[in-house]
A and B are shown apart, each in its own frame.
Chain A
Amino acid sequence: MTRTSHSEPDRRSAVAGRRIVLVGNPNAGKSVVFGAMSGMYVDVSNYPGTTIEISQAPYGQDRLQDSPGVYGLGSFNDEERVARDVILQADILVNVVDAVHLERDLFLTLQLLELAKPMVVALNMMDEAASRGLKIDPARLEQQLGVPVIPTVAVRREGIDALEAALDRARPGQGDPHWRVVLDELADAVGGRGEALLLLEGDRDVAARHPDLPVEAMREEIYQTRRRRADAVVESCVGPFTYRQQVRDRVSRLMLHPVSGALILLAVLWGMFEVVGVLVAGDLVGVTEGMLMQERYEPAVQGAVGRVVAPARYTVQPRAPLAERLDELADSSDAAVARAAEEVRQAWDERLADQPWREGGAWREDVRALEQVLSPDAQQALRRVNAWDALVDPSGYYRTLRFPNDTLAGKAATVLAGEYGVLTHTVRYLVGLLLPLVLAFYLLLALLEDCGYLPRLATLTDRALNTIGLNGRAIIPIILGFGCVTMATITTRLLGTEREKSIAASILNFVIPCSAQLGVIVGILALAVAAAGGQAGPILLYVAVILTILVLLGTLLDRLLPGRSSHLFIELPPLRLPRLGNVTKKTFVRSFAFMKEAAPWFVVGSLAVGLMQVTGLLTAARDALAPLTERWLLLTREAADVFIMGLVRRDFGAAGLTRLANEGTLTPYQMTVSLIVVTLFVPCIASLLILVKERGVRQAAAIWVGTWLTAFAVGGLVAQALRMAGML
């Protein structure tokens, strides 16, 4: 973002340190104007005490501040409150107005005029107005409002210079003469016209500040007269209105029609899947190379920890295919081959297991060195059965690291740099897995938002969401939930009532599988289907059970929770092509805000598991869970591992399942049961901690306990039912 050149710095420093606040309706182009006026040093931070983000930037000697898009000042929701507070403290107001929707935008403008603050109006989107045949007279408008009115096309930077020049001509403007006397009197009593106006309009927060003044709220009257005045201004300044339908209006229609809308949605979902798949999988691969680069970072860290804290030892093990192959060979009827296999086993024990630490890829040399170690007879035998090349190829092996578990230093080292080490594993997870994922999903969200599809999606899904006590807006956290449930839980803030936030947070943490799990779930379902001889049974069962629980949970919460949910009331802005600059900015700002907020909790979670590991708590938990897993869920003992690991990170749980599934110890329907349990099981630690932060300890605890019960109850019931049906 480049700075516009300002030729006379003195002009602005005349009144130093002014607070210039941008204000306007959502979708009026405020952020574009902000972007055009501000330079590179934009600071985005939460307004104190809220979760609403405010952008600020230095502007010469002054300060430029953006405010949340609102339709009016008041206390309908958090956005309005923050906008109100920011605006009341402003020195100069820049009201960005959408020229196409003047009758709507002028309501706020007229309200702002009552504040008697120096103001300038940016009449934005003049190009769109022209394309719709709207003729607006800015000079007339200026005369009626009493403040400078500057036509702009912010996306093309047209009029921005004029706007900036006009800042010095900012003046208070003409309020409604109807209310002038009342407001002036009250302003003296409460210290400011802004306070007075809001008090008269019945703003609860402001009223609380002046308990001694029993002012009768006249909001309805004030609003009606303001509306009439706005209509009159539009009447006199805007040419006759004719509706001109544009192509985008037809597209919008299609998006909302149940049939074509569903098709479009499927296309969008498919597109999302591709993008995320490419970005994340591609990034995953990129990061696996980065992980291989982390195989320089990690070993370096481990080496450092090894030097400073406690020396590590490593074991090189064959991957599953190779290990299986060797088992086969050991049972071979050919004596020479069986003997050779024994030799290999021995060599593995002696040369690859429990070795003292060495840097980087040195272990690969050990594998290749097997060539020298094994006898010529063995080599001959193994070559005969075509096993030799695989045996000495390092890519068939992987290395695990172990710090000694008996010393305190060793335990500390494990927590820091061991299997789930904070410095190694967590950093790799955050940078390599979570960050690309979060970027991808926020990018998608920003694209959908910017082109105007999101409100239409909310409209399309409203009816379905009503069945679980939510309205269309909740589709946003639900979509994000398939990315990262932690991210989605934070987004529940934008829902209308506490009740809806609770329902949405519960559904996210009970049912929705985050992408970490999703990939593995899809993979294992595919395996299950293959193992079941191509029958779609496992998939159908899984989807049916999960959907049922989703609907049941939502309905239950809808009935049990007090209060009523809000209904859909949403503006459908005109569709347009997403603007790259805006989209990337939103993506980065939100992603980094999320990482800043959530990353510490992932670290805490990792730390917790590391501690559990070294204190033996992890093993104890596994053993405690085993009987439940075996007898109630009818799975193998090892499956208990999967659930315990799922406590830490959802993908662990699912990945552990892949291992089990690959080993062939589970039948297709056993796999399905485990997937069901894994999906319904507790949220990962980071999610849990964010849940505590967002919804409070009681709700979080209820959800946590609830997921344990639901996961095992449902999993068990399904397992027992399958057994009775003879399908397990």
Chain B
Amino acid sequence: MVVVRGVSPRLAGEALGSNMSIQMGLHEAPLNRSVRIARIVDPQTRMQLLRLGITEGSEVICEQRLPFGPVVLRHRHNRLALGRRIARDIHVAVA
């Protein structure tokens, strides 16, 4: 598994073709595509997300991303807005 920071969504999309699973921060995840949570770095965030039903392994969809701003993610029917700092420390892989 390769952990790459600052991967552009297009590159991530291209990598889909290969067997590599590229990880990126949630704030860089491709929009409207199912991604799997690989790692949640901050324990506090991990706890808060867990209560809401999101853990490492959950599939979420990054619906919107505000310029330099929060990320809107959807898990099943639940929508959350996470500040960019928090989103940066959630590592996801394109499912």
Contact = CB atoms under 8 A, between A and B. Distances in A.
Interface stretch (B1-9, B14-22, B49-57): B49-57
B39 to A, nearest CB: 14
A471 B83 contact: yes
Contacts of B45: 569
A100 B77 contact: yes
B11 interface: no
Contact of B81 (A76, A241, A258, A459): A459
A569 B68 CA distance: 15
Contact of A572 (B55, B72, B86): B72
Interface string B6-46: 00000000000000000000000000000000000001011
Interface of B: 43, 45-48, 50-53, 55, 63-64, 66-70, 72, 74-86
Interface in A449-480: 455-456, 458-460, 462-463, 466, 471-472
Given A223-B47, A459-B72, A460-B66, A570 B55 contact: no
Contact of B72 (A227, A231, A256): A256
Contact of B70 (A224, A231, A568, A573): A568
A350 B14 CA distance: 94
Given A256-B64, A569-B48, A104 B80 contact: no
B81 to A, nearest CB: 4
Interface residues of A, number: 42
Give the residue among A253, A458, A460, A567 with the most B Cβ atoms within 10 A: A567
B50 A223 contact: yes
Contacts of B48: 71, 76, 569
A572 B79 CA distance: 5
A103 B76 contact: yes
A466 B67 CA distance: 13
B79 to A, nearest CB: 4
A101 interface: yes
- Describe A's contact surface by its main secondary structure: helix
Contacts of A101: 53, 76-78
B55 A569 contact: no
5 contacts: A101-B76, A220-B46, A456-B81, A463-B66, A571-B80
Contacts of A72: 51
A652 interface: no
B53 A104 contact: yes
Contacts of B75: 103
A569 B53 CA distance: 14
The 7 residue pairs across chains A and B that have the minimum distance between CB atoms: A567-B83, A463-B69, A568-B83, A103-B53, A459-B81, A572-B79, A71-B51
Contacts of A313: none
B66 A219 contact: no
Contacts of B76: 101, 103, 241, 243
A258 B53 contact: no
B50 A224 contact: yes
B77 to A, nearest CB: 5
A559 interface: no
A465 to B, nearest CB: 10
B80 A570 contact: yes
A107 interface: yes
Interface in A282-297: none
A618 to B, nearest CB: 48
A252 interface: yes
B69 to A, nearest CB: 4
B52 A462 contact: no
Given A569-B83, A571-B78, 16 more contacts: A76-B48, A101-B76, A103-B76, A104-B51, A220-B46, A224-B55, A253-B64, A256-B72, A459-B66, A459-B72, A462-B83, A471-B83, A570-B81, A571-B52, A572-B79, A574-B79
- Describe B's contact surface by its main secondary structure: mixed
A243 B76 CA distance: 7
B74 to A, nearest CB: 8
Interface string A76-105: 100000000000000000000000110110
Nearest to B77: A100
A701 to B, nearest CB: 33
B81 A227 contact: no
A574 B64 CA distance: 16
A223 B74 CA distance: 21
Contacts of B77: 100-101, 132, 243, 574
A257 interface: yes
Contacts of B69: 459-460, 462-463
A223 B49 CA distance: 11
Contacts of B51: 71-72, 104, 107-108, 223
A682 interface: no
B70 A472 contact: yes
A101 B69 CA distance: 26
Contacts of A219: 47
Given A72-B51, A104-B52, A227-B50, A569 B78 contact: no
A459 B64 CA distance: 11
B70 A462 contact: yes
Give the residue among B76, B77, B81 with the most A Cβ atoms within 10 A: B77
Interface in A545-570: 567-570
A230 interface: yes
Contacts of A569: 45, 48, 80-83, 86
A568 B63 contact: no
Contacts of A241: 76
Contact of A463 (B50, B53, B68): B68
Contacts of B64: 253, 256-257
Interface string A639-663: 0000000000000000000000000
Contacts of B52: 71, 104, 107, 571
Nearest to A107: B51
B66 A572 contact: no
Contacts of B82: 567-569
A477 B21 CA distance: 44
A463 B70 contact: yes
Contacts of A471: 83
B67 A258 contact: yes
Contacts of B79: 252, 571-574
A253 B61 CA distance: 14
A220 B81 CA distance: 23
Contact of B85 (A132, A460, A567): A567
Contacts of B81: 256, 455-456, 458-459, 462, 472, 568-572
Contacts of B74: 243
A197 to B, nearest CB: 15
Contact of A258 (B66, B78, B84): B66
Nearest to A241: B76
A241 B75 CA distance: 11
A71 B78 CA distance: 13
Nearest to B47: A223
Contacts of A466: 83
